[in-house]
């Protein structure tokens, strides 16, 4: 491959702003697909969970051709929990396309991803998307974005950002709202004009590249992915690898590929400016610098924000342990978590302080960040018991003041429900920053402790009858806000082993809400529902109706049960308290008490969570 003109860009935005849809359009108009090729939507979201959840989880690369220029594109996640995926790729690009919805305007995650781009000195290009919406207010949104730039201390050059208007799903971009859009040429022209191609003369310097991502190939092993900042890299070349801690090792490049459309194409050499995949160095890690042999020129390590939430991944010790899962031991869990840490830079794993408990403390960016990993492990055949998610507190050096992570929350609800939502956010130590209303819906912005939002989403959905929208992102650390009231209701606990029977469940559902239906295998200590009162209640869901010799009309009426409330993994994790666990197996998600027998629970009734963690 010749040393050609190259530009690297990333598409950043809040979730649902249309990033993956825009990348689809760029690929189509950049010649990545044949004319008769059938192409699925959000083609970059190739992971099963990405397609099921409708979100981007992992940053991914592709490349297109515009005139005589190769444009490498990085599609990034929009959800706050996966912000580490955005942080680590920012140094590999020349500019970012900041995508903002023409109706919603800048959202919490918009602030985060934009701040990272501005910190690195990038000059973003603003694209106002979905201008075909009936409630679009594109001009107002541009002003709101300008205010956001100023709040984030953008330089004068960054404040003079170029603005494009468009409809990503139709592959249209235009310089003004009055123009008639035909294709994405205005966006391509703006990218080329603002950024310019990577200086070709840098290819004559000694090799300097940094690894921003990792992948794994079952045939050739671990792959390093990153941008060549200077020089060129050649297949078969022996290189020096500078680790993040300064240690220098040697390695040999066994295979080299670059991006062409969605495919990886094998090449013999690659030059400054390009984003490459290379194999052959098993010890490579994110942030490592690759230099020519004995010509060390290390780059600054990639700094990732610290995790804000933790959860204990424990060995499953329920009566059903090992019946379905293939990987059930602490060694299996440890190996899987170590493998995940190699590619998931926002994740940390620590041993538990308690030697009597088998498991690990896993630290991540939020409930979704951790639940995606748990779901992936479940699909791979793992069994786990999971503790209640907890936020990570910190203390500044030289200070005794306890700090806790905060979230910036934007809530959009019908006016008739806003009073209830505001009241609950106030009770959870939230501070209202702004409120606006159009008479039909209210938009409320809050700064609130992260721990106050654990378990709030399902409550919010119920309070707003499913019509409320809540988006959130990390908003730094602030002094500890004090105690926050937890779940008000107790739970219904099975006191027997066996299968649930309709007759027993019919009597039990008068006491609360059931989480399971009839003919379900249960065990002593398993949570089968929510009690209508604030205390836990032990029940027997396996009791059958006593038979008599007398039969008369009406005595054998069938039991009609209310459909049970089936919990997703995220809902289960939000729901449990400190003395409860979520049991995850390849085919089931169960709630249970940490101590299964009634006697053990009485012994630990006065314990607190610190005593067991």
> What pLDDT, in 10s, does the model give residues 82-107?
666 677 778 888 999 999 999 888 88
Tell me, yes or no, whether 207 and 176 share the same domain.
no
Alpha-carbon separation of residue 326 from 91, 568, 583 (angstroms):
40, 22, 15
Residue 38: pLDDT over 70: no
Note the pLDDT of residue 362.
94
Tell me, yes or no, whether 252 and 181 share the same domain.
no
Cβ(465)–Cβ(417) below 8 Å: yes
Q: Give me the CATH number covering residue 234.
A: 2.40.30.10
**Domain for residue 584, yes or no?**
yes
List, in sequence order, every beta strand (DSSP E) within 181-254.
208-217, 221-230, 232-234, 238-242, 248-252
Report the sign of the C-alpha dihedral through residues 405, 385, 372, 107, in that order: negative
Tell me, yes or no, whether 96 and 64 share the same domain.
yes
Note the pLDDT of residue 429.
92
* 534 annotated among ligand-binding-site residues: no
Q: Give me the CATH number covering residue 444.
A: 3.30.70.240
Q: Where are the alpha helices (DSSP H) in 126-255?
A: 138-151, 156-159, 185-195
Mean pLDDT of 128-144: 92
Tell me, yes or no, whether 214 and 184 share the same domain.
no
* 129 annotated among ligand-binding-site residues: yes
Tell me, yes or no, whether 28 and 40 share the same domain.
yes
Tell me, yes or no, whether 532 and 465 share the same domain.
no
What is the C-alpha to C-alpha distance for residues 147 and 472, in angstroms, rounded to an integer?
19
**Domain for residue 356, yes or no?**
no
Which residue has tokens 């010749």?
2
**Domain for residue 232, yes or no?**
yes
Cβ(76)–Cβ(113) below 8 Å: yes
* 572 annotated among ligand-binding-site residues: no
Mean pLDDT of 325-350: 88
Domain of 247, in residue numbers: 201-292
**Domain for residue 455, yes or no?**
yes
Note the pLDDT of residue 612.
47
Domain count of the fold of the chain: 4
**Domain for residue 245, yes or no?**
yes
Note the pLDDT of residue 13.
83
- Strand, helix or coil at 532? coil
Mean pLDDT of 372-396: 91
* 275 annotated among ligand-binding-site residues: no
Note the pLDDT of residue 607.
62
Q: 546, 543, 551, 604: which is closest to 579 by C-alpha?
A: 604
Alpha-carbon separation of residue 103 from 107, 141, 172, 247, 259 (angstroms):
11, 8, 17, 50, 34
What confidence tier does 366 reach under pLDDT thresholds 50, 70, 90? confident
Tell me, yes or no, whether 449 and 585 share the same domain.
no
Residue 361: pLDDT over 90: yes
Residue 173: pLDDT over 70: yes
The mean of the pLDDT values for the chain is 85
What confidence tier does 367 reach under pLDDT thresholds 50, 70, 90? confident
End-to-end Cα, the chain, rounded Å: 56
* 213 annotated among ligand-binding-site residues: no
**Domain for residue 372, yes or no?**
no
521's CB contacts (< 8 A; 6+ apart) are 320, 498, 499
Alpha-carbon separation of residue 409 from 76, 175, 309, 469 (angstroms):
21, 32, 17, 10
Give the pLDDT confidence of 201-229 residue by residue, as tens digits.
888 999 999 998 888 777 787 888 899 99
Note the pLDDT of residue 124.
93
What confidence tier does 397 reach under pLDDT thresholds 50, 70, 90? confident
Note the pLDDT of residue 47.
54
Tell me, yes or no, whether 231 and 177 share the same domain.
no
Domain boundary among 430, 453, 479: 479
Tell me, yes or no, whether 119 and 76 share the same domain.
yes
Which pTM does this prediction carry? Answer: 0.78
Q: Give percent above pLDDT 90 in the chain.
A: 44
What is the C-alpha to C-alpha distance for residues 3 and 558, in angstroms, rounded to an integer?
77
* 3 annotated among ligand-binding-site residues: no
Give the pLDDT confidence of 405-461 residue by residue, as tens digits.
998 888 889 999 999 999 999 999 999 999 988 888 898 999 999 999 887 887 888
Q: Of 427 and 546, which is predicted with more confidence?
A: 427
Tell me, yes or no, whether 18 and 161 share the same domain.
yes
Q: Give me the CATH number covering residue 148.
A: 3.40.50.300
* 20 annotated among ligand-binding-site residues: yes
- Strand, helix or coil at 486? coil
Residue 331: pLDDT over 90: yes
Tell me, yes or no, whether 59 and 121 share the same domain.
yes
What confidence tier does 611 reach under pLDDT thresholds 50, 70, 90? very low
Q: 538, 554, 544: which is closest to 503 by C-alpha?
A: 544
139's CB contacts (< 8 A; 6+ apart) are 177
**Domain for residue 387, yes or no?**
no
Q: Which of 151-155, 285-289, 572-576, 602-606 has the lowest mean pLDDT?
A: 602-606
Alpha-carbon separation of residue 444 from 223, 413, 417, 432, 438 (angstroms):
45, 8, 12, 7, 12
* 16 annotated among ligand-binding-site residues: yes
What is the C-alpha to C-alpha distance for residues 80 and 91, in angstroms, rounded to an integer?
19
Q: Give me the CATH number covering residue 556.
A: 2.40.50.250
Cβ(110)–Cβ(98) below 8 Å: yes
432's CB contacts (< 8 A; 6+ apart) are 422, 425, 426, 444, 445, 446
Note the pLDDT of residue 576.
92
Cβ(78)–Cβ(17) below 8 Å: yes
Q: Which of 163-167, 362-366, 380-384, 494-498 has the lowest mean pLDDT?
A: 362-366
Domain boundary among 198, 216, 242: 198
- Partners of 589 in the β-ladder: 584
Domain boundary among 292, 310, 342: 292
Query: Which token pair is 231?
Result: 């020089």
**Domain for residue 357, yes or no?**
no
Tell me, yes or no, whether 503 and 428 share the same domain.
no
């Amino acid at each position: 491959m010749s040393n050609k003109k190259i530009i690297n860009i990333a598409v950043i935005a809040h979730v649902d702003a249309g990033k993956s849809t825009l990348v689809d359009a760029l690929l189509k108009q950049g010649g990545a697909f044949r004319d008769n090729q059938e192409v699925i939507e959000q083609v970059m979201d190739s992971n099963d969970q990405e397609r099921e959840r409708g979100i981007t989880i992992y940053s991914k690369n592709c490349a297109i051709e515009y005139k005589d220029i190769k444009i490498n594109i990085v599609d990034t996640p929009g959800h706050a929990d996966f912000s580490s995926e955005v942080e680590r790729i920012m140094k590999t690009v020349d500019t970012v396309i900041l995508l903002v919805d023409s109706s919603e305007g800048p959202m919490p995650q918009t602030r985060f991803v934009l701040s990272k781009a501005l910190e690195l000195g990038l000059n973003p290009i603003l694209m106002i998307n979905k201008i075909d919406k009936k409630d679009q207010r594109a001009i107002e949104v541009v002003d709101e974005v300008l205010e956001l730039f100023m709040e984030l201390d953008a330089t004068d050059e960054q404040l003079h950002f170029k603005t494009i208007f468009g409809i990503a799903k139709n592959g249209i971009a235009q310089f003004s709202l009055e123009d008639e859009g035909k294709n994405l040429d205005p966006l391509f022209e703006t990218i080329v004009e603002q950024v310019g191609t990577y200086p070709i003369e840098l290819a004559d310097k000694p090799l300097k590249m940094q690894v921003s991502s990792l992948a794994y190939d079952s045939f050739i092993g671990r792959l390093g992915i990153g941008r060549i900042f200077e020089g060129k890299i050649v297949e078969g070349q022996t290189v020096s690898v500078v680790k993040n801690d300064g240690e220098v090792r040697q390695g040999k490049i066994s295979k080299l590929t670059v991006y062409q459309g969605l495919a990886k194409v094998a090449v013999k050499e690659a030059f400054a400016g390009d984003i490459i995949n290379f194999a052959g160095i098993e010890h490579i890690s994110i942030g490592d610098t690759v230099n020519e042999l004995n010509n060390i020129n290390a780059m600054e390590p990639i700094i990732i924000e610290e995790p804000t939430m933790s959860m204990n991944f424990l060995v499953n010790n329920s009566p059903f342990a090992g019946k379905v899962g293939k990987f059930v031991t602490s060694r299996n869990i440890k190996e899987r978590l170590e493998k995940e840490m190699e590619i998931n830079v926002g994740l940390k794993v620590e041993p538990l302080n308690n030697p009597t408990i088998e498991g690990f403390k896993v630290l991540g960016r939020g409930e979704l960040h951790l639940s995606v990993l748990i779901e992936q492990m479940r699909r791979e055949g793992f069994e786990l018991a999971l503790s209640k998610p907890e936020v990570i507190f910190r203390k500044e050096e030289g200070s005794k003041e306890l700090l806790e992570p905060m979230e910036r929350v934007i809530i959009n609800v019908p006016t008739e429900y806003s009073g209830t939502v505001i009241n609950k956010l106030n009770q959870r130590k939230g501070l209202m920053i702004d409120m606006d209303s159009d008479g039909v819906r209210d938009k409320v912005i809050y700064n609130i402790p992260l721990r106050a939002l654990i378990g709030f989403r399902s409550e919010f959905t119920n309070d707003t009858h499913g019509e409320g929208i809540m988006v959130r992102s990390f908003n730094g650390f602030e002094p500890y806000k004090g105690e926050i009231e937890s779940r008000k209701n107790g739970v219904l606990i099975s006191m027997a082993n066996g299968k649930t029977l309709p007759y027993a469940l019919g009597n039990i559902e008068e006491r609360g809400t059931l989480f399971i239906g009839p003919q379900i295998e249960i065990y002593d200590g398993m949570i089968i529902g929510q009690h209508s009162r604030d205390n836990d209640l032990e029940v027997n869901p396996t009791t059958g109706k006593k038979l008599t010799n007398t039969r008369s009309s009406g005595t054998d009426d069938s039991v009609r049960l209310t459909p049970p409330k089936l919990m997703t993994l995220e809902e289960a994790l939000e729901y449990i308290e400190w003395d409860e666990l979520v049991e995850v197996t390849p085919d089931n998600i169960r709630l249970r008490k940490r101590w299964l027998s009634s006697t053990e629970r009485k012994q630990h009734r006065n314990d607190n969570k610190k005593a067991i963690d």
